[in-house]
Chain A
Amino acid sequence: MNLRRTRAIFQKEARHIVRDPLSLIMALGLPLVDLLLFGYALDLDVDRIPTLIYDADRSAISRELVQHFQGSRFFEIEGFVDNYAAIEKGIDRNKILMGVAIPRDYSRQIAADGKADVQILVDGSDSNTASIALGYAESTVRNYSFQLRANGQNRHAGFKPDVPVDTELRIWYNATLESKNYIVPGLIAVILMVIAALLTSLTIAREREMGTLEQLLSTPIRPGEIVLGKMLAFFVVGVLDTLISILVGIFVFNVPFRGSILLLSFTGCIFLSCAFFWGILISTLARSQLQAYQLGILSSFLPSMLLSGFIYAIENMPPAIQAVTYLVPARYFAEIIKGIFLKGVGFNVLWPDILFLAVFSSTVFLLATRRMRRKLA
Chain B
Amino acid sequence: MWGRIGVIVRKEFSQLFRSPRTRTLLFVPPLIQLIVFGYAVNLDVDNVHMGWLDGDQTPASRTLLADFQGSGRFVVVALPRTEADIQKLLDGGGVKCVVRVLPGFARDIQRGRTTAVQVLVDGTNSNTASLVSAYATQIVAAYAGSVASRETLPQVMARSASNQRISLKAPSLNSSTRVWFNPDLKSRNYFVPGVIANIIMVVTVMLTAMAIVREKEIGTLEQLIVTPIRPIELMIGKLLPAALVGLMDVAMISVGAQLIFHVPFRGSAALLFACSALFLLTSLGVGLFVSTIAQTQQQAMMSSTLFAAPTFMLSGFAFPIHNMPVPVQYFTYLNPNRYFVEILRSIFLKGAGINILWPDMAALLVYGLAIMLLSSWRFRKRLD
Contact = CB atoms under 8 A, between A and B. Distances in A.
Interface of A: 20, 22-23, 26-27, 29-30, 33-34, 37-38, 40-46, 48, 50, 65, 91-94, 97, 109-111, 113-132, 134-139, 141-142, 144-145, 148-153, 156-159, 161-175, 177-179, 181-182, 194, 198, 202, 206, 209, 287-291, 293-298, 302-303, 306-307, 311-313, 315-318, 320-321, 335, 338-339, 342-343, 345, 349
B43 interface: yes
Nearest to B121: A171
Interface residues of B, number: 121
28 contacts: A23-B296, A23-B302, A26-B302, A26-B303, A40-B328, A41-B319, A41-B325, A44-B319, A122-B178, A125-B350, A127-B190, A134-B177, A135-B131, A138-B138, A141-B175, A148-B170, A152-B170, A164-B115, A165-B140, A166-B116, A167-B116, A168-B116, A170-B120, A172-B122, A172-B123, A290-B297, A313-B42, A315-B49
Contacts of B19: 287
Contacts of A318: 39
B320 interface: yes
Contacts of B126: 44-45, 174, 177-179, 181-182
B138 A139 contact: yes
B214 A313 contact: no
Nearest to B174: A117
Interface stretch (B21-29, B250-258, B270-278, B372-380): B21-29
A199 B300 CA distance: 12
A53 B174 CA distance: 17
B43 A127 contact: yes
B168 A173 contact: no
6 nearest CB pairs, A to B? A152-B170, A135-B134, A174-B123, A145-B173, A124-B182, A128-B43
Nearest to B100: A168
A106 B103 CA distance: 42
Interface of B: 19, 21-22, 25, 29, 32-33, 36-37, 39-47, 49, 64, 90-93, 109, 112-131, 133-138, 140-141, 143-144, 147-148, 151-152, 155-156, 159-160, 163, 166-183, 185-187, 189-190, 202, 206, 210, 214, 217-218, 295-299, 301-303, 305-306, 309-310, 313-314, 318-320, 322-325, 328, 342, 345, 349-350, 352, 356
B167 to A, nearest CB: 5
A163 B174 contact: no
Contacts, number: 388
Given A157-B167, A165-B64, 11 more contacts: A23-B299, A119-B176, A128-B43, A129-B320, A157-B163, A161-B155, A164-B148, A172-B90, A316-B42, A338-B124, A343-B124
Contacts of B64: 165
Nearest to A161: B152
A206 B299 CA distance: 12
Contacts of B42: 312-313, 316-317
A216 B14 CA distance: 31
A186 to B, nearest CB: 9
Contacts of B302: 22-23, 26-27, 30, 198
State the majority secondary structure of interface residues on A: helix
A307 B318 CA distance: 14
A287 B23 CA distance: 13
A128 B129 contact: no
Contacts of B356: 92-93
A157 B123 contact: no
B129 A40 contact: no
B41 A306 contact: yes
B331 to A, nearest CB: 8
A128 B127 contact: yes
Given A128-B127, A177-B129, A165 B324 contact: no
Contacts of B115: 164-166
Nearest to B322: A50
B21 to A, nearest CB: 7
Contact of A198 (B168, B174, B301): B301
